[in-house]
């Protein structure tokens, strides 16, 4: 009996030891197991703010900076003996080139000399041009009538002409042939020189252009859009510096027959401050035109709009509620909105 009891005690003790070992092993396993990751928090809601501001849409056109349309100059009988340099600016009463070694001088006016002024009593608009220019040079020519066709080549005008010829260093004949004066409508600059010394003066001599740098481009009439005379635009120089400017003329021209592209517009743009482009001669530029604009409107990023099943759009509040909005101008990634309760500073949910 004692041995049986003793055996039972050993069995109980062994079982107890086994339980303890199992518990310790379980504890060790639990302790060695990495902690369970915490549940991921819900993604943070991204928000933006309704802001009051300005929206604009622009159009960019390729253009050319230069001196505008060129006018070709031809001479009269004789041989070219001196030519002006490219870029030379014309001046009233000053020599521009020479034919048969005689100076051809610049006058300004609306009528070219179309005949020899060699007989006192001649009347006409060419006489008016002579009188105006001599008077501008400081010579006494008498009073010119308002009607230019009645301007008369009087002895007083002849005497003024002789004095000017003396100052110019040419023979004092008191007469003036058409080939001795080039009449321009305004101060110009010499563009491309076409002739060479020794060429007949009756050929193409050189071009003259306006002195003010202009931007020119040609676009189809159907694509003109908002372009109109006086419209503020921006010239973007080759160095990307913006220059404020205005559209100064729009002229419709026929399309070349070979391309059949329809009528086009010659567009001329003038910088507000000519000094902004005086360091450039001719260069390709870009023209930025504002096609639409809205000032002082409420705006949000496009990503803040929520499309509604029933149509239209809304913005979502951080609380989850929706506010219906009306959309206006779209500009890049911004959109104009309005609606009840939509105010500057309102926080709304955005997708980005």
pLDDT tens-digit readout, 173-192: 999 999 999 999 999 999 99
pLDDT category, 33, cuts 50, 70, 90?
Answer: low
Whether the pTM exceeds 0.85: the reply is: no
Asked if 156 and 255 sit in the same domain, the reply is: no
Q: Averaged over 32-54, what is the pLDDT?
A: 73
CATH assignment at residue 286: 2.40.30.170
Asked if 121 and 190 sit in the same domain, the reply is: yes
CATH assignment at residue 316: 2.40.420.20
Residue where one domain finishes, among candidates 161, 176, 209? 209
Neighbours of 288 (CB within 10 A): 14
CB 217 within 8 A of CB 233: no
Q: Alpha-carbon distance 260 to 247, whole Å?
A: 26
76 occurs within a structural domain: no
270 occurs within a structural domain: yes
CB 127 within 8 A of CB 141: no
Q: Where are the alpha helices (DSSP H) in 124-254?
A: 125-136, 155-168
CB 297 within 8 A of CB 54: yes
pLDDT category, 344, cuts 50, 70, 90?
Answer: very high
Asked if 235 and 325 sit in the same domain, the reply is: no
pLDDT category, 261, cuts 50, 70, 90?
Answer: low
Q: Alpha-carbon distance 213 to 275, whole Å?
A: 10
Q: Averaged over 111-133, what is the pLDDT?
A: 96
Pairing of strands 283-301, 322-331: unpaired
How many domains does the structure of the chain reveal? 3
Query: What is the chain's mean pLDDT, rounded?
Result: 88
Asked if 232 and 184 sit in the same domain, the reply is: no
Q: Is the pLDDT of residue 32 over 70?
A: no
Q: Is the pLDDT of residue 4 over 60?
A: no
Residue where one domain finishes, among candidates 159, 181, 209? 209
Asked if 194 and 230 sit in the same domain, the reply is: no
CB 150 within 8 A of CB 127: no
Reported as a single tens digit per residue, the pLDDT across 142-167 is: 999 999 999 999 999 999 999 999 99
Helices (H) and strands (E) in the chain, counts: 3, 19
Return the pLDDT at 38. 57
Distances (CA, A) of 219 to 3, 45, 100, 264: 120, 48, 45, 5
> Which residues span the domain enclosing 104?
88-209
Q: Where are the alpha helices (DSSP H) in the chain?
A: 2-32, 125-136, 155-168
Asked if 122 and 197 sit in the same domain, the reply is: yes
Q: Averaged over 228-246, what is the pLDDT?
A: 96
For 11-20, 213-222, 233-242, which range has the lowest pLDDT when averaged over its residues? Answer: 11-20
Return the pLDDT at 332. 86
Distances (CA, A) of 260 to 220, 221, 257, 266, 269: 11, 13, 6, 17, 26
pLDDT category, 98, cuts 50, 70, 90?
Answer: very high
317 occurs within a structural domain: yes
Residue where one domain finishes, among candidates 149, 179, 209? 209
Asked if 342 and 261 sit in the same domain, the reply is: no
Tokens of 261: 């592209």
pLDDT category, 99, cuts 50, 70, 90?
Answer: very high
Reported as a single tens digit per residue, the pLDDT across 269-300 is: 999 999 999 999 889 999 999 989 999 999 99
CA atoms within 13 A on the CB side of 147: 3
Asked if 253 and 334 sit in the same domain, the reply is: no
């Amino acid at each position: 009996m004692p041995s049986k009891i003793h055996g039972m005690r050993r069995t109980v003790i062994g079982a107890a030891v086994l339980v303890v070992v199992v518990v310790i092993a379980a504890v060790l396993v639990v302790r060695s197991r990495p902690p369970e990751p915490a549940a991921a928090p819900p993604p943070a809601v991204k928000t933006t703010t309704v802001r009051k501001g300005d929206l604009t849409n622009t159009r960019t056109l390729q253009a050319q900076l230069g001196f505008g349309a060129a006018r070709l100059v031809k001479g009269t009988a004789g041989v070219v003996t001196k030519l002006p340099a490219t870029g030379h600016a014309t001046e009233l009463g000053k020599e521009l080139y020479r034919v048969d070694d005689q100076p051809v001088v610049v006058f300004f006016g609306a009528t070219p000399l179309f005949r020899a002024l060699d007989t006192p009593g001649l009347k006409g608009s060419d006489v008016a041009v002579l009188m105006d220019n001599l008077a501008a040079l400081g010579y006494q020519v008498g009073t010119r009538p308002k009607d230019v066709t009645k301007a008369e080549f009087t002895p007083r005008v002849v005497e003024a002409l002789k004095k000017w010829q003396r100052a110019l260093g040419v023979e004092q004949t008191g007469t003036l042939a058409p080939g001795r004066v080039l009449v321009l409508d305004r101060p110009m600059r010499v563009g491309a020189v076409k002739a060479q010394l020794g060429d007949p003066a009756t050929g193409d001599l050189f071009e003259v252009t306006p002195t003010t740098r202009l931007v020119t481009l040609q676009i189809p009439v159907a694509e003109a859009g908002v372009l109109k005379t006086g419209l503020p635009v921006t010239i973007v120089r080759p160095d990307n510096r913006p220059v404020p400017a205005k559209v100064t003329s729009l002229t419709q021209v026929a399309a070349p027959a070979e391309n059949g592209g329809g009528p086009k517009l010659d567009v001329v743009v003038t910088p507000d401050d000519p000094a902004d482009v005086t360091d450039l001669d001719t260069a390709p530029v870009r023209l930025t035109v504002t096609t639409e604009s809205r000032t002082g409107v409420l705006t949000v990023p496009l990503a803040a709009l929520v499309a509604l099943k029933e149509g239209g759009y809304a913005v979502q509040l951080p609380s989850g509620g929706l506010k219906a909005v009306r959309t206006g101008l779209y500009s890049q990634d911004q959109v104009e909105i309005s609606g009840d309760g939509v105010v500057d500073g309102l926080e709304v949910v955005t997708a980005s």
